[in-house]
């Protein structure tokens, strides 16, 4: 079995089990995979839907405690074993529990990337329309709903996006992703600050700023916590094995505690900027109509075009914005699909091309179902959700908590928390060790189980949250 995950190629072409070039290289690579549609598309709609400021507060608390503990664990386990998740779990035992623990981590990205690419296709479509100067058309009421309901066109844009991803995987990714991220991230930040500033100063937008930033406990529900936890996993790329793989490339002297904080700050800053672009705009352009706040996955595609249409130079802003979102989505989709490909290569011993073809097939099958789920397949709902929403729910609310639990159990029951602490302490002061231990031992497993059970009970309609 070849032990190096070929996600490697993303980072440093042509070296076997290499390390990152330096501390900054690692932070950039992780930040590049972390910042994507999760920050710009997913975070704002969840925040809008699940209570605004209270969602933000719960999210921040979870990230600094739970998220921190899990990132540290996954990275340390990766660095310790020098393996991707299936191999890392396998290092500590051969039983069925170890295989399941490794595989659930490895399968999640394979189920995310198909529907992720559907959203990627929507982004390409919007970019295309802005390039044609259709700024007003995109901002019209009902445009987006009409577009996804039409189905076939959404399917074609999805295929275009997927072909780009598969083509890159097929070619073998050189340092492209890292290089693109380096240029793209600063431009994205500047543009986001600019659009957020514009959006926040529209008449009526201030209510939205308040809704997003000031916690209102009346808006709290259990679903706030469930959604915030899923989003935290998603946005930081945790509970899906990716950080094991990245950790396995980290040199012994990289301060993983510090780099974890940097990645968290960066990722959250982008998500909050996206929230400040979109949520105030919802209030300004729809009078805070609660139905718009409930819009879900379509929110970005409905409000951002309205903001741009109201600006003098909206077409240019639209082109730039959707181009950047597209790049962020592409780099993330490539890393997600790459992690699937490397699992196939490592575990099935397949060639890169064969592995990439299988990943492509998975993307086309599940992605097409998700893309058409708003159109010709809209009679199919699973537990009351559209196909795309169902995949999102399945991975984020069900599988990721289980994957996170598997990591907790591996750390506390098998490897031993002190051994992980030692691994971290090789390179870091580990200032938050006390909190880390408390979380991994008690709080994290208990919270995960409670949240998992409540989200299952919720979809089955046993409780309503």
C-beta closer to ligand TRP: residue 54 or 270: 270
Q: Tell the burial category of 332 from Cβ atoms under 10 Å away from its Cβ (0-12, 13-18, 19+).
A: buried
The only residue of 10, 11, 29, 37 in contact with ligand TRP, by rule CB under 6 A: 37
Residue numbers 15-34 binding ligand TRP by CB under 6 A: 33-34
Q: In whole angstroms, what is the distance from residue 323 CA to residue 309 CA?
A: 17
Binding pattern to ligand TRP, positions 291-330, x when CB under 6 A? ----------------------------------------
Q: Tell the burial category of 84 from Cβ atoms under 10 Å away from its Cβ (0-12, 13-18, 19+).
A: buried
The only residue of 25, 38, 230, 360 in contact with ligand TRP, by rule CB under 6 A: 38
Kindly state the smallest distance separating residue 15's Cβ from ligand TRP, in Å.
Answer: 21
Q: In whole angstroms, what is the distance from residue 201 CA to residue 196 CA?
A: 9
Kindly state the smallest distance separating residue 128's Cβ from ligand TRP, in Å.
Answer: 21
Kindly state the smallest distance separating residue 285's Cβ from ligand TRP, in Å.
Answer: 25
Q: Binding segment for ligand TRP among 35-43, 49-57, 67-75, 418-426 (CB under 6 A)?
A: 35-43
Please tell me the count of residues contacting ligand TRP according to CB under 6 A.
15
Alpha helix segments (H runs only) across 63-200: 68-81, 85-92, 96-131, 135-139, 143-150, 152-171, 176-200
Kindly state the smallest distance separating residue 335's Cβ from ligand TRP, in Å.
Answer: 4
C-beta closer to ligand TRP: residue 237 or 427: 237
Residue numbers 205-264 binding ligand TRP by CB under 6 A: 234-235, 237, 240, 242
Could you write out the DSSP letters of every residue in 329-382? HHHHHHHHHHHHHHHHHHHH---HHHHHHHHHHHHHHHHHHHHHTTTTTTT--B
CA distances from 461 to 126, 157, 222, 385 (A): 36, 35, 14, 13
- Written as six digits, the tokens of 420 are 């992980």
Kindly state the smallest distance separating residue 231's Cβ from ligand TRP, in Å.
Answer: 9
Kindly state the smallest distance separating residue 236's Cβ from ligand TRP, in Å.
Answer: 7
Dihedral of alpha carbons 220, 226, 229, 234, sign: negative
Kindly state whether residue 84 participates in binding ligand TRP, applying the rule CB under 6 A: no
Kindly state the smallest distance separating residue 242's Cβ from ligand TRP, in Å.
Answer: 4
Q: In whole angstroms, what is the distance from residue 459 CA to residue 455 CA?
A: 6
Residue numbers 328-347 binding ligand TRP by CB under 6 A: 332, 335-336
Q: Nearest Cα to 362, choosing from 343, 379, 376?
A: 343
Under the rule (CB under 6 A), what is the footprint of ligand TRP? 33-34, 36-39, 109, 234-235, 237, 240, 242, 332, 335-336
């Amino acid at each position: 079995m070849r032990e190096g995950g070929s996600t490697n190629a993303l980072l440093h072409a042509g070296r076997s089990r290499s390390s990152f070039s330096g501390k900054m290289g690692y932070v950039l690579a992780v930040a590049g995979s972390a910042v994507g549609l999760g920050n710009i598309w997913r975070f704002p709609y969840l925040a809008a839907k699940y209570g605004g400021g209270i969602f933000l507060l719960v999210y921040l608390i979870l990230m600094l405690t739970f998220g921190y503990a899990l990132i540290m664990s996954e990275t340390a386990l990766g660095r310790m074993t020098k393996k991707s998740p299936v191999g890392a779990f396998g290092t500590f035992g051969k039983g069925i529990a170890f295989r399941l623990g490794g595989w659930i981590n490895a399968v999640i990205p394979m189920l995310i990337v198909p529907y992720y690419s559907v959203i990627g296709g929507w982004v390409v479509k919007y970019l295309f329309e802005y390039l044609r100067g259709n700024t007003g058309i995109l901002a019209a009421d009902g445009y987006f709903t009409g577009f996804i309901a039409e189905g076939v066109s959404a399917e074609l844009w999805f295929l275009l996006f997927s072909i780009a991803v598969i083509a890159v995987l097929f070619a073998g990714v050189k340092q492209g992703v890292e290089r693109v991220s380096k240029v793209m991230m600063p431009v994205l930040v500047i543009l986001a600050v600019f659009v957020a500033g514009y959006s926040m100063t529209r008449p009526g937008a201030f209510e939205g700023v308040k809704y997003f930033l000031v916690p209102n406990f009346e808006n709290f529900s259990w679903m706030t916590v469930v959604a915030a936890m899923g989003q935290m996993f998603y946005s930081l790329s945790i509970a899906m094995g990716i950080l094991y793989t990245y950790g396995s490339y980290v040199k012994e002297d990289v301060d993983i505690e510090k780099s974890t904080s940097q990645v968290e700050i960066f990722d959250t800053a982008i998500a909050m900027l996206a929230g400040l672009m979109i949520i105030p705009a919802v209030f300004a352009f729809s009078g805070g109509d609660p139905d718009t706040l409930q819009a879900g996955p379509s929110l970005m595609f409905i409000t951002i075009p309205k903001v741009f249409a109201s600006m003098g130079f909206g077409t240019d802003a639209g082109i730039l914005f959707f181009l950047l979102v597209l790049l962020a989505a592409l780099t993330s989709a490539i890393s997600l699909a790459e992690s699937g490909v490397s699992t196939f290569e490592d575990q099935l011993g397949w060639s890169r091309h064969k592995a990439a073809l299988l990943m492509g097939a998975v993307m086309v099958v599940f992605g097409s179902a998700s893309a058409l789920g708003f159109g010709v397949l809209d009679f199919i709902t699973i537990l009351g959700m559209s196909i795309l929403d169902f995949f999102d729910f399945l991975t984020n609310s069900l599988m990721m908590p289980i994957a996170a639990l598997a990591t907790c159990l591996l750390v506390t029951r098998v490897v031993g928390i002190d051994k992980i602490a030692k691994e971290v302490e090789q390179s870091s002061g580990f200032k938050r060790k006390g909190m880390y231990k408390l979380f991994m031992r008690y709080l994290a497993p208990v919270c995960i189980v409670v949240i998992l059970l409540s989200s299952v009970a919720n979809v089955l309609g046993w409780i309503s949250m």
